[in-house]
Structure 1
Amino acid sequence: MEWMGAVIILTVTTLGGFEIASRFKKRPGHIRQWKNALQLIEAEMVYGQSSLWEVCDTLSRHLPMPVAGFFEQLQKEQDGCREFAVLWESMMKKHWPWNAMGKTELEILLQFGRTLGQHDLEQQQKQIQLTIHHLDRVLQEALEVGEQYQKMARGMGVLSGLLVIILII
Protein backbone atom coordinates (compact mmCIF):
# COMPACT_ATOMS: atom_id res chain seq x y z
CA MET A 1 0.00 0.00 0.00
CA GLU A 2 2.90 2.33 0.74
CA TRP A 3 4.25 1.81 -2.76
CA MET A 4 0.92 2.75 -4.26
CA GLY A 5 0.93 6.00 -2.30
CA ALA A 6 4.53 6.66 -3.30
CA VAL A 7 3.68 6.19 -6.98
CA ILE A 8 0.71 8.55 -6.67
CA ILE A 9 2.82 11.23 -4.92
CA LEU A 10 5.59 10.93 -7.51
CA THR A 11 3.08 11.10 -10.37
CA VAL A 12 1.32 14.18 -9.01
CA THR A 13 4.50 16.14 -8.30
CA THR A 14 5.98 15.16 -11.66
CA LEU A 15 2.84 16.31 -13.47
CA GLY A 16 2.97 19.56 -11.50
CA GLY A 17 6.54 20.11 -12.62
CA PHE A 18 5.62 19.41 -16.24
CA GLU A 19 2.69 21.84 -16.01
CA ILE A 20 4.98 24.61 -14.78
CA ALA A 21 7.46 23.75 -17.55
CA SER A 22 4.61 23.97 -20.06
CA ARG A 23 3.90 27.55 -18.98
CA PHE A 24 7.55 28.47 -19.57
CA LYS A 25 7.33 26.91 -23.02
CA LYS A 26 4.11 28.77 -23.93
CA ARG A 27 5.29 32.17 -22.67
CA PRO A 28 7.19 33.29 -25.83
CA GLY A 29 4.24 32.27 -28.00
CA HIS A 30 1.80 34.30 -25.94
CA ILE A 31 4.09 37.32 -26.02
CA ARG A 32 4.26 37.01 -29.82
CA GLN A 33 0.45 36.84 -29.96
CA TRP A 34 0.20 40.11 -28.02
CA LYS A 35 2.80 41.74 -30.27
CA ASN A 36 0.73 40.64 -33.26
CA ALA A 37 -2.40 42.05 -31.61
CA LEU A 38 -0.68 45.41 -31.08
CA GLN A 39 0.42 45.51 -34.72
CA LEU A 40 -3.15 44.79 -35.81
CA ILE A 41 -4.45 47.52 -33.49
CA GLU A 42 -2.00 49.95 -35.06
CA ALA A 43 -3.01 48.97 -38.59
CA GLU A 44 -6.73 49.15 -37.87
CA MET A 45 -6.58 52.46 -36.01
CA VAL A 46 -4.00 54.33 -38.07
CA TYR A 47 -4.66 53.02 -41.56
CA GLY A 48 -8.21 51.68 -41.29
CA GLN A 49 -9.50 54.55 -39.12
CA SER A 50 -11.50 52.00 -37.11
CA SER A 51 -12.99 52.66 -33.69
CA LEU A 52 -11.78 50.79 -30.61
CA TRP A 53 -14.83 48.53 -30.64
CA GLU A 54 -14.39 47.69 -34.32
CA VAL A 55 -10.75 46.87 -33.61
CA CYS A 56 -11.77 44.58 -30.73
CA ASP A 57 -14.22 42.79 -33.02
CA THR A 58 -11.57 42.30 -35.71
CA LEU A 59 -8.99 41.05 -33.22
CA SER A 60 -11.42 38.60 -31.61
CA ARG A 61 -11.97 37.00 -35.03
CA HIS A 62 -8.38 37.00 -36.33
CA LEU A 63 -6.18 36.11 -33.35
CA PRO A 64 -5.69 32.76 -31.62
CA MET A 65 -6.75 32.05 -28.05
CA PRO A 66 -6.20 33.28 -25.35
CA VAL A 67 -5.76 36.76 -26.89
CA ALA A 68 -8.90 36.42 -29.03
CA GLY A 69 -10.95 35.57 -25.94
CA PHE A 70 -9.73 38.73 -24.24
CA PHE A 71 -10.86 40.95 -27.11
CA GLU A 72 -14.13 39.05 -27.51
CA GLN A 73 -14.97 39.59 -23.85
CA LEU A 74 -13.83 43.22 -24.07
CA GLN A 75 -16.28 43.80 -26.90
CA LYS A 76 -19.13 42.04 -25.07
CA GLU A 77 -18.68 44.34 -22.07
CA GLN A 78 -18.76 47.56 -24.10
CA ASP A 79 -22.38 48.40 -23.21
CA GLY A 80 -21.59 48.98 -19.55
CA CYS A 81 -18.32 50.75 -20.31
CA ARG A 82 -17.89 54.32 -19.15
CA GLU A 83 -14.12 54.40 -19.38
CA PHE A 84 -12.19 52.10 -21.72
CA ALA A 85 -9.03 52.03 -19.57
CA VAL A 86 -10.97 50.68 -16.57
CA LEU A 87 -12.63 48.01 -18.70
CA TRP A 88 -9.26 47.06 -20.24
CA GLU A 89 -7.70 46.64 -16.81
CA SER A 90 -10.55 44.57 -15.37
CA MET A 91 -10.69 42.28 -18.42
CA MET A 92 -6.90 41.94 -18.45
CA LYS A 93 -6.89 40.82 -14.82
CA LYS A 94 -9.83 38.50 -15.43
CA HIS A 95 -8.20 36.81 -18.45
CA TRP A 96 -4.63 36.81 -17.15
CA PRO A 97 -4.71 33.30 -15.62
CA TRP A 98 -5.18 31.84 -19.14
CA ASN A 99 -1.91 33.40 -20.28
CA ALA A 100 1.50 31.89 -19.67
CA MET A 101 3.02 35.32 -19.14
CA GLY A 102 4.38 37.01 -16.04
CA LYS A 103 3.82 40.18 -14.05
CA THR A 104 6.14 42.22 -16.26
CA GLU A 105 4.02 41.54 -19.32
CA LEU A 106 0.86 42.30 -17.35
CA GLU A 107 2.23 45.70 -16.31
CA ILE A 108 3.26 46.51 -19.89
CA LEU A 109 -0.20 45.67 -21.23
CA LEU A 110 -2.01 47.46 -18.39
CA GLN A 111 0.04 50.59 -19.10
CA PHE A 112 -0.84 50.31 -22.78
CA GLY A 113 -4.53 49.97 -21.93
CA ARG A 114 -4.39 53.22 -19.95
CA THR A 115 -3.18 55.07 -23.06
CA LEU A 116 -5.40 53.36 -25.64
CA GLY A 117 -7.85 55.83 -27.12
CA GLN A 118 -6.49 58.76 -25.08
CA HIS A 119 -4.32 60.37 -27.77
CA ASP A 120 -4.43 61.42 -31.41
CA LEU A 121 -3.43 58.81 -34.00
CA GLU A 122 0.21 59.88 -34.18
CA GLN A 123 0.70 59.68 -30.40
CA GLN A 124 -1.28 56.45 -30.27
CA GLN A 125 1.02 54.95 -32.90
CA LYS A 126 4.04 55.94 -30.79
CA GLN A 127 2.47 54.32 -27.72
CA ILE A 128 1.87 51.11 -29.67
CA GLN A 129 5.46 51.07 -30.93
CA LEU A 130 6.76 51.66 -27.40
CA THR A 131 4.66 48.79 -26.07
CA ILE A 132 5.88 46.50 -28.86
CA HIS A 133 9.46 47.49 -28.01
CA HIS A 134 8.89 46.57 -24.34
CA LEU A 135 7.37 43.24 -25.36
CA ASP A 136 10.37 42.58 -27.65
CA ARG A 137 12.67 43.03 -24.67
CA VAL A 138 10.59 40.68 -22.53
CA LEU A 139 10.38 38.17 -25.40
CA GLN A 140 14.16 38.04 -25.65
CA GLU A 141 14.38 37.35 -21.93
CA ALA A 142 11.70 34.64 -22.18
CA LEU A 143 13.57 32.93 -25.00
CA GLU A 144 16.89 33.06 -23.16
CA VAL A 145 15.73 31.63 -19.85
CA GLY A 146 12.75 29.56 -20.99
CA GLU A 147 14.58 26.33 -21.82
CA GLN A 148 16.61 26.50 -18.63
CA TYR A 149 13.53 27.02 -16.46
CA GLN A 150 11.63 24.26 -18.27
CA LYS A 151 14.31 21.71 -17.38
CA MET A 152 14.49 23.01 -13.83
CA ALA A 153 10.70 22.83 -13.34
CA ARG A 154 10.50 19.26 -14.64
CA GLY A 155 13.42 18.23 -12.43
CA MET A 156 11.98 19.95 -9.38
CA GLY A 157 8.67 18.16 -9.88
CA VAL A 158 10.34 14.76 -9.85
CA LEU A 159 12.78 15.60 -7.06
CA SER A 160 10.13 17.11 -4.79
CA GLY A 161 8.07 13.95 -5.20
CA LEU A 162 11.06 11.82 -4.27
CA LEU A 163 11.75 14.03 -1.24
CA VAL A 164 8.18 13.68 0.00
CA ILE A 165 8.34 9.91 -0.46
CA ILE A 166 11.62 9.70 1.48
CA LEU A 167 10.21 11.82 4.30
CA ILE A 168 7.07 9.69 4.54
CA ILE A 169 8.87 6.34 4.46
Structure 2
Amino acid sequence: MIKLLGACFILLSTSAIGFHIAKNFADRPRQIRQIRGALSLLQTDIVYGSRRLDRICEQIAAREKDPVQFLFARCAEYLQHLDGVSTFECWKRSVDETWPRTAMREPEREVLTDFGKTLGISDREDQLAHLARVQTSLEVEESEAREEQARYEKMCRSLGVLAGALIVILIY
Protein backbone atom coordinates (compact mmCIF):
# COMPACT_ATOMS: atom_id res chain seq x y z
CA MET A 1 0.00 0.00 0.00
CA ILE A 2 2.79 2.44 0.89
CA LYS A 3 4.63 1.48 -2.31
CA LEU A 4 1.55 2.28 -4.35
CA LEU A 5 1.12 5.61 -2.59
CA GLY A 6 4.80 6.45 -3.17
CA ALA A 7 4.51 5.52 -6.84
CA CYS A 8 1.46 7.75 -7.23
CA PHE A 9 3.26 10.61 -5.49
CA ILE A 10 6.30 10.28 -7.78
CA LEU A 11 4.13 10.09 -10.89
CA LEU A 12 2.02 13.08 -9.84
CA SER A 13 5.01 15.24 -8.91
CA THR A 14 6.94 14.63 -12.14
CA SER A 15 3.76 15.15 -14.15
CA ALA A 16 3.14 18.45 -12.33
CA ILE A 17 6.68 19.58 -13.13
CA GLY A 18 6.20 18.72 -16.81
CA PHE A 19 2.87 20.55 -16.93
CA HIS A 20 4.37 23.58 -15.19
CA ILE A 21 7.19 23.81 -17.74
CA ALA A 22 4.66 23.37 -20.57
CA LYS A 23 2.55 26.19 -19.07
CA ASN A 24 5.54 28.52 -19.29
CA PHE A 25 5.84 27.74 -22.99
CA ALA A 26 2.13 28.56 -23.41
CA ASP A 27 2.24 31.72 -21.27
CA ARG A 28 5.15 33.38 -23.04
CA PRO A 29 3.41 34.23 -26.36
CA ARG A 30 0.26 35.27 -24.48
CA GLN A 31 2.20 37.65 -22.26
CA ILE A 32 4.06 39.12 -25.23
CA ARG A 33 0.69 39.76 -26.90
CA GLN A 34 -0.48 41.43 -23.68
CA ILE A 35 2.58 43.71 -23.66
CA ARG A 36 2.03 44.56 -27.32
CA GLY A 37 -1.61 45.41 -26.60
CA ALA A 38 -0.63 47.62 -23.67
CA LEU A 39 1.95 49.40 -25.80
CA SER A 40 -0.74 49.95 -28.45
CA LEU A 41 -2.84 51.66 -25.78
CA LEU A 42 0.17 53.77 -24.87
CA GLN A 43 0.67 54.64 -28.52
CA THR A 44 -2.97 55.66 -28.90
CA ASP A 45 -2.74 57.87 -25.84
CA ILE A 46 0.43 59.51 -27.15
CA VAL A 47 -1.25 60.25 -30.48
CA TYR A 48 -4.63 61.44 -29.22
CA GLY A 49 -4.19 62.31 -25.57
CA SER A 50 -2.26 64.83 -23.60
CA ARG A 51 -2.15 63.24 -20.17
CA ARG A 52 0.86 62.66 -17.99
CA LEU A 53 2.66 59.37 -18.30
CA ASP A 54 1.76 58.22 -14.79
CA ARG A 55 -1.96 58.65 -15.57
CA ILE A 56 -1.56 56.73 -18.81
CA CYS A 57 0.19 53.89 -16.97
CA GLU A 58 -2.59 53.79 -14.37
CA GLN A 59 -5.22 53.53 -17.09
CA ILE A 60 -3.32 50.74 -18.85
CA ALA A 61 -2.89 48.89 -15.55
CA ALA A 62 -6.64 49.12 -14.94
CA ARG A 63 -7.37 47.50 -18.31
CA GLU A 64 -4.77 44.74 -18.36
CA LYS A 65 -4.28 41.47 -16.49
CA ASP A 66 -1.29 40.38 -14.46
CA PRO A 67 1.72 40.52 -15.08
CA VAL A 68 1.33 43.44 -17.51
CA GLN A 69 -1.04 45.11 -15.06
CA PHE A 70 1.62 44.92 -12.34
CA LEU A 71 4.28 46.36 -14.67
CA PHE A 72 2.27 49.47 -15.52
CA ALA A 73 0.89 49.88 -12.00
CA ARG A 74 4.39 49.84 -10.52
CA CYS A 75 5.63 52.25 -13.16
CA ALA A 76 2.79 54.66 -12.39
CA GLU A 77 3.48 54.37 -8.68
CA TYR A 78 7.19 55.04 -9.16
CA LEU A 79 6.49 58.01 -11.44
CA GLN A 80 4.19 59.53 -8.82
CA HIS A 81 6.22 58.91 -5.68
CA LEU A 82 9.90 58.96 -6.62
CA ASP A 83 10.90 62.60 -6.93
CA GLY A 84 14.06 63.32 -8.88
CA VAL A 85 14.20 59.88 -10.47
CA SER A 86 14.16 59.69 -14.27
CA THR A 87 11.36 58.09 -16.25
CA PHE A 88 13.81 55.45 -17.43
CA GLU A 89 14.74 54.52 -13.87
CA CYS A 90 11.05 54.19 -12.91
CA TRP A 91 10.39 52.02 -15.97
CA LYS A 92 13.48 49.88 -15.37
CA ARG A 93 12.58 49.32 -11.72
CA SER A 94 9.08 48.23 -12.65
CA VAL A 95 10.39 45.88 -15.37
CA ASP A 96 12.94 44.39 -12.96
CA GLU A 97 10.32 43.95 -10.26
CA THR A 98 7.76 42.43 -12.63
CA TRP A 99 10.08 40.08 -14.48
CA PRO A 100 10.05 37.13 -12.02
CA ARG A 101 6.25 37.03 -12.39
CA THR A 102 6.43 36.52 -16.15
CA ALA A 103 7.18 33.62 -18.47
CA MET A 104 9.03 35.94 -20.82
CA ARG A 105 12.73 35.68 -21.46
CA GLU A 106 15.73 37.96 -21.73
CA PRO A 107 15.15 39.22 -25.32
CA GLU A 108 11.77 40.68 -24.33
CA ARG A 109 13.32 42.19 -21.22
CA GLU A 110 16.02 43.89 -23.29
CA VAL A 111 13.44 45.28 -25.73
CA LEU A 112 11.34 46.71 -22.89
CA THR A 113 14.35 48.12 -21.05
CA ASP A 114 15.64 49.78 -24.23
CA PHE A 115 12.19 51.24 -24.81
CA GLY A 116 12.30 52.76 -21.35
CA LYS A 117 15.41 54.73 -22.30
CA THR A 118 13.37 56.74 -24.80
CA LEU A 119 10.11 56.90 -22.87
CA GLY A 120 8.96 60.43 -22.21
CA ILE A 121 12.13 62.25 -23.32
CA SER A 122 11.33 63.16 -26.90
CA ASP A 123 8.58 64.60 -29.05
CA ARG A 124 5.45 62.77 -30.16
CA GLU A 125 6.76 61.59 -33.55
CA ASP A 126 9.95 60.21 -32.02
CA GLN A 127 7.95 58.39 -29.34
CA LEU A 128 5.74 56.83 -32.03
CA ALA A 129 8.81 55.72 -34.00
CA HIS A 130 10.26 54.06 -30.90
CA LEU A 131 6.92 52.39 -30.14
CA ALA A 132 6.75 51.05 -33.71
CA ARG A 133 10.27 49.62 -33.34
CA VAL A 134 9.36 47.97 -30.03
CA GLN A 135 6.15 46.54 -31.51
CA THR A 136 8.12 45.04 -34.40
CA SER A 137 10.71 43.53 -32.08
CA LEU A 138 8.04 42.06 -29.83
CA GLU A 139 6.17 40.69 -32.84
CA VAL A 140 9.30 38.78 -33.88
CA GLU A 141 9.76 37.48 -30.33
CA GLU A 142 6.11 36.44 -30.21
CA SER A 143 6.39 34.41 -33.40
CA GLU A 144 9.51 32.69 -32.04
CA ALA A 145 7.68 32.00 -28.77
CA ARG A 146 4.76 30.47 -30.67
CA GLU A 147 7.18 28.22 -32.57
CA GLU A 148 8.78 27.11 -29.31
CA GLN A 149 5.36 26.49 -27.82
CA ALA A 150 4.34 24.31 -30.74
CA ARG A 151 7.62 22.42 -30.56
CA TYR A 152 8.05 21.92 -26.81
CA GLU A 153 4.74 22.26 -24.94
CA LYS A 154 3.37 18.79 -25.64
CA MET A 155 6.81 17.24 -25.28
CA CYS A 156 7.26 18.68 -21.76
CA ARG A 157 3.92 17.30 -20.63
CA SER A 158 4.72 13.88 -22.02
CA LEU A 159 8.22 13.86 -20.57
CA GLY A 160 6.90 14.71 -17.13
CA VAL A 161 4.53 11.75 -17.15
CA LEU A 162 7.02 9.38 -18.76
CA ALA A 163 9.85 10.38 -16.42
CA GLY A 164 7.59 9.60 -13.47
CA ALA A 165 6.65 6.27 -14.95
CA LEU A 166 10.33 5.43 -15.56
CA ILE A 167 11.29 6.34 -12.00
CA VAL A 168 8.46 4.20 -10.62
CA ILE A 169 9.51 1.27 -12.80
CA LEU A 170 13.18 1.60 -11.79
CA ILE A 171 12.42 1.89 -8.09
CA TYR A 172 9.91 -0.94 -7.94
What is the TM-score of this pair, normalised by structure 2? 0.90
Q: Does the CA contact (< 8 Å) of 2:53 and 2:76 recur in 1?
A: no
5+ long unaligned stretches in structure 1? none
Q: CA deviation at 1:53?
A: 0.8
1:11-90 pair list within 5 angstroms: 11-78=12-79, 79-81=81-83, 82-90=85-93
1:147-162 pair list within 5 angstroms: 147-162=150-165
Between Structure 1 and Structure 2, how many residues are aligned?
A: 169
5+ long unaligned stretches in structure 2? none
| Alignment partner of 2:149 out of 146, 149, 157 | 146
Whole-angstrom distance in 1 between the partners of 2:116 and 2:133? 13
| SS of residue matched to 1:97 | helix
Q: Does the CA contact (< 8 Å) of 2:92 and 2:113 recur in 1?
A: yes
| SS of residue matched to 2:122 | coil
Whole-angstrom distance in 2 between the partners of 1:165 and 1:127? 54
Measured against aligned partners, the alpha-carbon deviations of 1:136-167 in whole angstroms (never above 9, x if no partner) come to: 11111122221221111112211222343344
What is the TM-score of this pair, normalised by structure 1? 0.91
1:86-97 pair list within 5 angstroms: 86-97=89-100
Measured against aligned partners, the alpha-carbon deviations of 1:54-92 in whole angstroms (never above 9, x if no partner) come to: 211111112222211221122222312511212211211
Q: Say if 1:167 and 1:94 are closer, same or farther in 2 by CA, change over 3 A.
A: farther
Whole-angstrom distance in 1 between the partners of 2:114 and 2:56? 18
| SS of residue matched to 1:100 | coil
Whole-angstrom distance in 1 between the partners of 2:160 and 2:113? 32
Q: Does the CA contact (< 8 Å) of 1:45 and 1:51 recur in 2?
A: no
* Percent of aligned positions that are identical: 34
Aligned-residue CA RMSD (Å): 1.6
Q: Does the CA contact (< 8 Å) of 2:61 and 2:69 recur in 1?
A: yes
Q: Which residue of 1 aligns with 2:102?
A: 99
